Structure 1
Amino acid sequence: MELKRIDTNFTVCKVADLSQVNMEDEFVFVSKTDEEISLVCATSKTPSNTSERSDGWKAVRIEGKLDFSLIGILSKISTVLAKNNIGIFAISTYNTDYILVKEADFDYALKVLEEKGYRIV
């Protein structure tokens, strides 16, 4: 399985509203519930109306369009990383999944994934 390294620094944050979020940016992940609005975006594009934020994330994307019938892809990746004490923040889109890892652990995460047979592109 191929994982594409994304050369962007990401921020995971909570925002008061979406008024300052530019939906035209290359990477914008928004989740809204009855309790919060969460945003993952390029750190350089983080809006000023954040109430909480965590900077220093890097990401990989599972390459290709994943069929909904496929089972355990994200689970296998997260297990490999968890066994190596690497925490993740996962995002699923209609087509695929993104795995974010803190920048300090990113190179090590790529190494252990390669050792388990994942191809990093």
Structure 2
Amino acid sequence: MEIKLLEQDFSICKLKDFSQADLSRDFCFVGKTDQENSLVCPTEYIPQNIIEKEDGWKAFRIQGILDFSLIGILADISGLLAENKIGIFVISTYNTDYILTKTENFQKAVSVLRENGYIIV
């Protein structure tokens, strides 16, 4: 399975609302519940109306379109990273999954995945 490294630095934010978020940017992930408005975006595009934010994340994407019938892909990746004491933040889209790690753990995560048969592109 191929893993694509993304070059951007990411931030995870809690927002008052989405009025200042530029949702037209690539890699803009939003989540809205009855308790919060969340945004994950490249750090350079953080809106002004944040309540809280966590900077210092890097990301990779599982390449290709993952069929909903596929089982265990995230479990395998998260298990490998957990065994190596690497925390993750996961975003799932219709097509695939994105895994974020803190910047200081990113190269170690890439090495762990490569050592376990993942192709890094």
Name the TM-score class by shorter chain: over 0.9
Hey, what's the Cα distance between the residues in 2 that align with 1:66 and 1:35? 30
Name the % identity.
58
Aligned to 1:78: 78
> Hey, which of these two has a bigger chunk of strand by percent?
1
Hey, what's the Cα distance between the residues in 1 that align with 2:78 and 2:96? 15
Note the residue ranges of structure 1 that are not aligned, 5 or more in a row: none
Hey, what's the Cα distance between the residues in 2 that align with 1:43 and 1:107? 19
Task: Name segments (4+ residues, structure 1) moved above 3 Å.
Answer: none
**SS of alignment partner, residue 9 of structure 2:** strand
Pairing 1:4-83 to 2, within 5 Å after superposition:
4-83=4-83
Hey, what's the Cα distance between the residues in 2 that align with 1:87 and 1:118? 18
State the aligned residue count: 121
Aligned to 2:107: 107
**SS of alignment partner, residue 44 of structure 1:** helix
Post-superposition offset of 1:23 = 1.1
**TM-score between the two structures when normalised by the length of structure 1:** 0.99
Hey, what's the Cα distance between the residues in 2 that align with 1:51 and 1:72? 34
